[in-house]
Amino acid sequence: MTETRTHLIELGDGLRVSRQGYGGMSLSDVYGPVTDDDALRTLTHAVDAGVTFVDTANIYGGGRSERTVARLLRTRRDQVQLASKFGILTGGGIGRRGIRGDREYVREQIELSLSRLGTDHLDLYYQHRVDPNVPIEDTVGALAELVAEGKILHIGLSEATGEEIRRAATVHPIAAVQTEWSIVSRDVEAHVIPAVRDLGIGFVPYSPLSRQWLTGLFDAAALTEGDGRPKFPRFAPEALAANRPVLAEVLDVARDADVTPAQLALAWLYDKGRALDLPVAPIPGTRFTERVDENLAAADIALAPEHVARLDALAGRVVGARSANPQWVSAGRE
Ligand SMILES: NC(=O)c1ccc[n+]([C@@H]2O[C@H](COP(=O)([O-])OP(=O)(O)OC[C@H]3O[C@@H](n4cnc5c(N)ncnc54)[C@H](OP(=O)(O)O)[C@@H]3O)[C@@H](O)[C@H]2O)c1
């Protein structure tokens, strides 16, 4: 336990979390089947190993992810920094879903999440997507009420633009911004990262392994029904083919650096955090305990500058957008 505590880093607004989180979307069948008991075993292993920053959302597996996290919390609530999200409406398919950020919805969803999670508070509550019909100041105002009531301790934003982050922070301190960031998805570096650095907000990179593609183990032929990845432009057959040389270079650098490709992808993010003096806590998701250990080891890897330089050159060569709808992510609205 002592060891866990010593590995906490501070994001923003005084929120301290493990320097690597656990991506709780993998507690449901989003990227392949998993039983609830196996999901709980992997999650428990992560927390035992010191990955105490647990990321979930109201929509993951239609509430299944939060319900599995609840089973962990029964005995481990005080050891976990618990984050969940609201804002994306189910139905409509990837890139075409509705978004709500009005006060009534915020208040309804926190109660549903707390009830599914079996706890009386979240450490961090993210707006999952910014509602184009509700000023972000109003949504953050509703979240500030939840802070005052003790239902959440900190506020986060996901896929907000740099300008939206700056506006949000005028209403209440923002602890974390969670947006896709990886060797092959670097659009956040233009406006979002400068905003969070200016405001003292921590960054939580999601899909740090580019939804497994960066590990070299993604196999389009082996996908099970319901796997959402083929809907992303980058996972279209022609994009996967065009990006093969980029992946080959990632795998080559990993061999040179004597780390696994997953560790390389995560170590690249930690390197960026150090270079930018930015608290960074990536949240890779996996169904397997061994991969939790493999990924966590990346937090102690320092990459050589020549390896970082080779990886830095790759994003510009990638074919296929990271989102099916550019408006759905911050880059399309900057
Ligand atoms: N805010 C948002 O809009 C948003 C969007 C997406 C995700 N997220 C959050 O971010 C978390 C992580 O993102 P993500 O799950 O999309 O992508 P990711 O972490 O980049 O990749 C997850 C995929 O990589 C595989 N994987 C993990 N570790 C591996 C390893 N060491 N070697 C080989 N394969 C490995 C997993 O499969 P196995 O299970 O087979 O290991 C899974 O298919 C999610 O769980 C979720 O909490 C947030």
- Mutate which of 20, 29, 209, 263 for ligand 1? The one with the most ligand atoms within 8 Å of its CB, which is 209
Residue 178, beta-bridge partner list: 158, 204
Ligand 1 contact, 185 CB (< 6 A): no
**pLDDT tens-place string over residues 80-109:** 999 999 999 987 655 557 999 999 999 999
Residue in the structure block whose two tokens are 């509550």: 125
Which parts of the chain are beta strand (E)? Answer: 8-10, 16-18, 21-23, 53-55, 81-86, 124-127, 155-158, 176-180, 202-206
Question: What is the Å distance from ligand 1's center to 127 Cα?
Answer: 19
Q: What is the pLDDT along the chain (334 residues), one digit of tens a residue?
A: 334 445 799 999 999 999 999 999 999 999 999 999 999 999 999 999 999 999 999 999 999 999 999 999 999 999 999 999 999 998 765 555 799 999 999 999 999 999 999 999 999 999 999 999 999 999 999 999 999 999 999 999 999 999 999 999 999 999 999 999 999 999 999 999 999 999 999 999 999 999 999 999 999 999 998 898 999 999 999 999 999 999 999 999 999 999 999 999 999 999 999 999 999 999 999 999 999 999 999 999 999 999 999 999 999 999 999 999 988 999 999 9
Ligand 1 contact, 210 CB (< 6 A): yes
The H-assigned helical ranges of 31-102 are 36-48, 64-76
CA distance 20 to 47: 11
Which one of 22, 31, 60, 206 is the catalytic residue? 60
Q: Is 206 a catalytic residue?
A: no
Contact criterion met (CB below 8 Å) for 293 and 286: no
Question: What is the Å distance from ligand 1's center to 213 Cα?
Answer: 10
pLDDT at 97: 76
- Eight-state DSSP code of residue 153: S
Q: Is the pTM of this model over 0.95?
A: yes
CA distance 223 to 138: 41
Ligand 1 contact, 23 CB (< 6 A): yes
pLDDT at 3: 43
pLDDT at 213: 98
Question: What is the Å distance from ligand 1's center to 145 Cα?
Answer: 32
- Mutate which of 17, 20, 26 for ligand 1? The one with the most ligand atoms within 8 Å of its CB, which is 26
Q: Residue 129, Cβ neighbours under 10 Å: how many?
A: 24
From 180, 133, 124, select the one nearest 330 (Cα to Cα).
180
Ligand 1 contact, 208 CB (< 6 A): yes
Question: What is the Å distance from ligand 1's center to 57 Cα?
Answer: 14
Domains and CATH numbers, the chain: 2-333 (3.20.20.100)
CA distance 128 to 203: 14
Q: What are phi and psi of 8, to 5 degrees?
A: -75, 145
